[in-house]
Amino acid sequence: MTIIQSLARGLEILDMLADAEQGMGIGEFAHHLNVDKSSASRLLHTLASYGYAEQDADTRRFTLGPRVVTLSNRVLNRMPLRDHAHPFLRRLTHETGECSHLAILSQGRALYIDQVESPSILRVESEIGTMSPLHCTALGKVLLAFSRHAQVDSLPLFTPRTITDPEALKLHIEQVRRQGYASDDEEHVQGVRCIAAPVYGFNGRVVGAIGISGPAGRVSYEKLPALTETLIGLADELSRRLGSSR
Amino acid sequence: MTIIQSLARGLEILDMLADAEQGMGIGEFAHHLNVDKSSASRLLHTLASYGYAEQDADTRRFTLGPRVVTLSNRVLNRMPLRDHAHPFLRRLTHETGECSHLAILSQGRALYIDQVESPSILRVESEIGTMSPLHCTALGKVLLAFSRHAQVDSLPLFTPRTITDPEALKLHIEQVRRQGYASDDEEHVQGVRCIAAPVYGFNGRVVGAIGISGPAGRVSYEKLPALTETLIGLADELSRRLGSSR
DNA sequence: CAACGATGTTGCGCAATATGCAACTAAAGA
DNA sequence: TCTTTAGTTGCATATTGCGCAACATCGTTG
């Protein structure tokens, strides 16, 4: 499987642009890509001419262009999973009082593609389009446990409770697979506890995961069994709606 | 300005993917790009390896990958509301003849971050950067009604019409929420009447408000329905421009 | 069941194309 | 005004992407 170098470089530039809050200049791109300024210049202008990058007229720096917004809308609108899942997220939040999310596997991360926010003032903020690590989030663990090609390369530490030992994670994921849901007990963000369950598609494969996140004080150990039962019930109902025969 | 051919081809593939509801096969790409199947194959796999395209395991057809959702999220988060709203303010002033404003919530006040002044001699003076109270201005009421973290501590009296009773304000804000716009009938400055409507961002949250202000003699009760219709139309169009799906 | 067609991938030689260098331009500081 | 920093363009070179053809993989049909 041959990779086209100049296309790959262009895509890497997009990745860099995604992380550059204040935009970047030609020189920085050249440096990061280990190419000459001239090459970077030509790549950037190619991206710009297609609307994937935008150049500030004054500073000459480049930022991500609006073209990706259109593409994103296409992606999200075509996701039947999202349309079917949304009412379930609403019910999930309604019945639990906590913020609910829908995530899919993307590039070895959990990509949040929908959410319904908790009505309470104290809540977990998050955004559609963000990607979270698999090893320390409930949604991520579910995707890791039930998807075929899911893998983790590294296990960075986020909180004292983050699992960083590959063997421990393996056992943990085995357990997730057995019990049919996953939890995240302040392993990603201090004070935030989550649970998640898999969503199965018509072919019996896991197509995504839904879950809730809330402050540890509210998502208490006593409430967890009830919350988990609600969650799994809704996840299974959604799976059946999607044509899963499970 | 030289264009890098293979990057351009990759971006053209993204454009094609954006329009392909059901995905596309290698052959179709090759045909549309006038290249050999082999080249199309390599380009597609390069895109796929970066998450910009995705291949259905069964049909082998390619669709847009979820990577663009993340990029879009970055773009939208960085979108300076001001830049996008300005042309709408111009249109608003052009169509109504009154001064128009863009405001966001800041520190429990309405912060005016942009304006377009009325062409007429008799006009309401105001400055970008000023902050107005929420309880007695149209923009403020909209932000109060539609933003989450908005709250008012005190209700100081400005004119005889200023609402100073918390309960009355609560009911008033409920009404604003129901009708989708707010008005200020000389409640802040004697002789000045305003209307305002919410502006929604890509995530469906209210990111700001736009409105018009004018002398009560010109912004008459008879004209209000027409002015309100214009305002709401522009506010909604701006919201859509910002990626709101409402 | 074998032969076929449709679709996609890989190896390879060739030439088109992307690259780096250097010269040039433009803008910003000193 | 001179210097520094940042980016663009021309050009020669060889790297890189290209098409061709052979191969692989399905699914179909006689």
pLDDT tens profile A67-102:
887 788 778 878 889 889 999 999 999 999 999 999
Q: Which nt sits closest to A2, CA to C1'?
A: C10
Gap between the Cα atoms of B122 and B53, Å rounded: 57
For residue A107, the chain B residues in CB contact (below 8 A) are 51, 66-67
State the CATH architecture for A5-69: Orthogonal Bundle (1.10)
Look at residue B111 and tell me whether its pLDDT is greater than 60: yes
Amino acid identity of residue B67, one-letter, is R
Number of residues in chain A:
246
pLDDT in tens, A44-58: 999 999 989 988 877
* CA gyration radius, chain A: 20
Gap between the Cα atoms of A2 and A4, Å rounded: 7
For residue B15, the chain A residues in CB contact (below 8 A) are 50
Give pLDDT, residue B21: 81
**pLDDT > 70 fraction of chain B, expressed in percent and rounded:** 92
For residue A21, the chain B residues in CB contact (below 8 A) are 78
Gap between the Cα atoms of A96 and A117, Å rounded: 11
For the domain covering B5-74, report its CATH number.
Answer: 1.10.10.10
Mean pLDDT value across residues B52-69: 89
Residue from the list A6, A42, A129 with its beta carbon closest to the beta carbon of B70:
A129
Separation of B59 CA and D27 C1' (Å): 12
Give pLDDT, residue B123: 58
Mean pLDDT value across residues B101-109: 79
Separation of A124 CA and D24 C1' (Å): 51
Closest CA to B156 of B90, B97, B109, B88: B109
Protein-covered nucleotides of chain D (CB closer than 7 Å) are 6-10, 16-21
**pLDDT > 90 fraction of chain B, expressed in percent and rounded:** 59
Q: Residues near chain C (nucleic strand), Cβ < 7 A? A: A 1-2, 5-6, 9, 34-39, 42-43; B 2, 4-6, 25-27, 37-38, 41-42, 44-45, 60-61
Structure tokens at B102: 């863009």
CA distances for B91 relative to A85, B99, B233, angstroms: 39, 11, 11
Query: A2 to chain B, minimum CA–CA distance in Å?
Result: 6
Mean pLDDT value across residues A214-228: 94
Determine whether the interchain pair A68/B75 forms a contact, defined as Cβ–Cβ distance below 8 Å: yes
Higher pLDDT, B196 or B243: B196
Look at residue A227 and tell me whether its pLDDT is greater than 80: yes
Least confident of A158-167, B76-85, B180-189: B76-85
Give pLDDT, residue B124: 58
Mean pLDDT value across residues A107-128: 80
Protein-covered nucleotides of chain C (CB closer than 7 Å) are 7-11, 17-22
pLDDT in tens, B132-189: 899 999 999 999 999 876 788 889 999 999 999 999 999 999 999 999 999 999 999 9
Identify the band that residue A122 occupies on the pLDDT scale cut at 50, 70 and 90. low
Residue nearest to nucleotide D8 (CA to C1'): A38
The 3-class secondary structure across chain A, one letter per residue, is CCCCHHHHHHHHHHHHHHHCCCCECHHHHHHHHCCCHHHHHHHHHHHHHCCCEEECCCCCCEEECCHHHHHHHHHHHCCHHHHHHHHHHHHHHHHHCCEEEEEEEECCEEEEEEEECCCCCCCCCCCCCCEECCCCCHHHHHHHHHCCCCCCCCCCCCCCCCCCCHHHHHHHHHHHHHHCCEEEECCCCCCEEEEEEEEECCCCCEEEEEEEEEECCCCCCCCHHHHHHHHHHHHHHHHHHCCCCC
Instruction: Write out the residue limits of the CATH 3.30.450.40 domain(s) in chain A.
Output: 79-241
Higher pLDDT, A161 or A119: A161
Closest CA to B93 of B195, B212, B199, B191: B212
Query: A40 to chain B, minimum CA–CA distance in Å?
Result: 10
Gap between the Cα atoms of A229 and A227, Å rounded: 5
Closest CA to A198 of A188, A189, A208: A208
Other CB atoms within 10 Å distance of the CB of residue B126: 16
Query: A71 to chain B, minimum CA–CA distance in Å?
Result: 6
Least confident of A55-69, A122-136, B122-136, B149-163: B122-136
| Number of A–B residue contacts, CB under 8 Å | 143
Mean pLDDT value across residues A146-162: 89
Q: Are B17 and B53 in contact (CB under 8 A)?
A: yes
State the CATH architecture for A79-241: 2-Layer Sandwich (3.30)
